[in-house]
Amino acid sequence: MDMVKAYGNFIKKSAENPKTAQKLINLGLAIAYHWLSRRHDKKMPKSFKYLNRICIKFMHQPLKNPNNSAWVNLFAPAEILHAMDIYPLFIEAFASFLCGFECEDEYIDRAERAGIAETLCSYHKAFLGAGITGLLPKPKFAVTTSMICDANIGTFRHLTDMYDIPCYVIDIPNYYSPDAEEYVVDQLKEMVCIIEDIMGRKLDEARLKKVLMTENQTRTFLKKYMDSLEYKYFPTTLTMEMFMLFASHTFMGRQETYRFYQMLYREIDSYPQKQVKRIFWIHLLPYYQTTLKKYFNLNDKYQILGCDLNFDFLDNMDYNNPYKALAEKMIKNQYNGEYQRRIEGITKIIKKLKPDGVINFCHWGCKQSSGGVILLRKAIKDMGIPFLSLDGDGIDKRNSHDGQIKTRLEAFLEILDG
């Protein structure tokens, strides 16, 4: 652990020398890919070991090849980029890696010093800090959606102005209707034309269809995995649940992701049924947090059943109409629109997975999720399931108070064990 801290300190000290800091990040990712990702606990399922490796690869590719890369947010339709062989840099994940590299505080502070509100989401602040100091290599363009999280448009606009690169904002209406779908389809088509101009190559629609077909097949494995999760014990870690966001979102449609979910659903079958306390997690997981790691990482007594964000869209996509399918996927995402839709989506999954308890994590700066926490609490309590809401931060360690988390979590687990 101390080695990582020392490495993080090197990055922090190089914040004024972006070229050196970039080299350090690339070096860290290379080491993590070739060495660290192989050194897992024996308890760690093989599919997760594979997930770990592909996530590092997904992060490293756009950084190594900035001229063939684009910044995207979690909900952006990266399928179009996969079909054009463009590497997406998934910005929230980059911020999360800075936390893993023990240097997120430096970049968050840099953003705040540049005038960015301290109440902004820390993922965005860390990414902004990285951009402001020049830690990020210049990509060709950026794509963000307006849906679910307000921070995206501000962050993308700020940094793409600074880097002088084009930024396409896809405006997603709050509710689904044929008109809303058409509004999004038109934007996607306009965006593709712009990307084609920037990259000097055409999008092959047949490739896009193929990406969506792969995505459908991948999602079939995901659903089968969920079926097994209803009764199987499958050890996981906070980090793996977060890594799964790469697979369930930005890198859906890629072959590596297909392979991961295939491995996952096959592997879970070989695991036993076991009497453990099963906890369903809502929203982000602070994967660095000491107490939570102690209780949930590969634990025999408590198991995280999954994180709601990884199950936010489970429908089949009409790959013959790829633009329509992508528009529909975004508008119908269970987090878009009214909070009640999200409650319905979450309660549906909870009814299926039957957890013993539900933990919701209020991430610092995330108004869209925190704002509904009282409504969520009521819905889960009405189902007769114990509910705990924790306040903290997905990446900024200074905003998660271990003492508070520990007391609340242990009391909650005592209730479950009671």
Partner 1 sequence: MGDVMVGYVCKYTPIHIIESFGEKVHKIDPLPANFDNADCCTHNNMCSYVKAVLEECLAGKIQRIVLMNCCDSVRRLYDVLKLQPTIEFLYMLDLPRKADEKGCIMLAKELNAFIKEYEKFSGINFNKERFVELLHEQRNSRQYAKAGVNIGIMGARCESSITEIIQNAGANIVFNLACNGDNVIETNGFNGEDIIYQYAKTLLNQYPCMRMADTTKRYAVLKKDIEKSISGLIFHTVKFCDMYSFDYTKIKENLSLPVLKLETDYSLQSEGQIRTRIEAFIEALKTKKPPRLTSNSAYVCGIDSGSLSTNVVILDGQRNILAYSIVPTGAKTVDSATEAFENALARANLTRSDISYIVSTGYGRIGIPFSDKRVTEITCHGRGAHFLNNSVRTIIDIGGQDSKIIRINNKGDVVDFVMNDKCSAGTGRFLEVMAKTLGLSLEDMSKEAANSKEELTITSMCTVFAESEVISLIAKNKDKADIIKGLNKSIAGRTLSLLERIGRKKHYMMTGGVAKNSGVVQALEEKIGEKIFVPEEPQIIGALGAALIALENIKS
Min. distance of Cβ 250 from partner 1 in angstroms?
Answer: 21
| 375 scored as a contact of partner 1 (CB under 8 A) | yes
Contacting residues for 64 by C-beta, under 8 A, at least 6 apart: 26
Choose one: 44-52, 205-213, 229-237, 358-366; the region binding partner 1 (CB under 8 A).
Answer: 358-366
Give yes or no for residue 1 binding partner 1 (CB under 8 A): no
306: left (phi over 0), alpha (psi -120 to 50) or beta: left
- The correct pick among 368, 385, 386, 408 for binding partner 1 (CB under 8 A) is 368
Continuous segment of H or E residues that includes residue 357: strand 357-363
Whether the Cβ atoms of residue 63 and residue 28 lie closer than 8 Å to each other: no
Question: What b/e sequence results for 334-353 when a residue is b if at least 16 CB atoms lie within 10 Å of its CB, and e otherwise?
Answer: bbbbebebbbebbbebbeeb
C-alpha atoms less than 13 angstroms from C-alpha of 113 in its C-beta half-sphere: 10
* Nearest CA-CA partner of 49 in 180, 292, 243: 243
The site map against partner 1 for 77-116 (x = CB under 8 A) is --------------------------------x--xxxxx
Name which position in 98, 373, 390, 409 contacts partner 1 (CB under 8 A): 373
Rounded to whole angstroms, the Cα distance separating 178 from 201 reads 31
Would you say 331 and 176 are in contact if contact means Cβ atoms under 8 Å apart? yes
Give the footprint of partner 1 on residues 115-144 (CB under 8 A). Answer: 115-117, 119-121
Determine if 291 is a binding residue for partner 1 (CB under 8 A): no
- Between 226 and 359, CB nearer to partner 1: 359
Using the rule CB under 8 A, which residue among 146, 257, 303, 310 binds partner 1? 146
CA distance 181 to 329: 10
- Contact assessment for residue 418 and residue 411, using Cβ atoms and an 8 Å cutoff: no
Check residue 29 for interaction with partner 1 (CB under 8 A): no
Q: Please tell me whether residue 157 binds partner 1 under the rule CB under 8 A.
A: yes
Counting residues that bind partner 1 (by CB under 8 A) gives 47
Phi-psi region of 115 (alpha: psi -120 to 50; beta: other; left: phi over 0): left
Q: Does 370 bind partner 1 (CB under 8 A)?
A: yes
Q: Which amino acid is at 412?
A: F
Q: Is 410 in the site for partner 1 (CB under 8 A)?
A: no
The amino acid sitting at 379 is A
Contact with partner 1 (CB under 8 A) among 324, 397, 406, 408: 397
Q: Compute the least distance from the CB of residue 149 to partner 1, in Å.
A: 7
Residue of 154, 256, 274, 293 that binds partner 1 (CB under 8 A): 154
Site string for partner 1, 170-199 (x = CB under 8 A): -x-xxx---xx--x--xx------------
Q: Which of 401, 410, 415, 417 binds partner 1 (CB under 8 A)?
A: 401
Q: Answer whether 97's CB lies under 8 Å from 70's CB.
A: no
Pick from 144, 145, 143, 141: nearest CA to 165:
141
The residue assigned the tokens 């210049």 is 138
Q: Of 61 and 368, which has the nearer Cβ to partner 1? A: 368
The reply on whether position 149 binds partner 1 by CB under 8 A is yes
Distance CA 251, CA 369 (A): 23
Instruction: Find the part of the chain contacting partner 1 (CB under 8 A) among 20-28, 155-163, 291-299, 408-416.
Output: 155-163
The sheet carrying 141-145 orders its strands as: 87-90, 69-72, 141-145, 167-170
153 binds partner 1 (CB under 8 A): yes
Whose Cβ is closer to partner 1: residue 187's or residue 214's? 187
HSE-CB of 351 using CA atoms within 13 angstroms: 9
The only residue of 339, 347, 406, 416 in contact with partner 1, by rule CB under 8 A: 339
Which residues contact partner 1 (rule: CB under 8 A)? 109, 112-117, 119-121, 146, 149-151, 153-155, 157-158, 169, 171, 173-175, 179-180, 183, 186-187, 338-340, 362, 364-365, 367-368, 370-375, 397-398, 401, 403
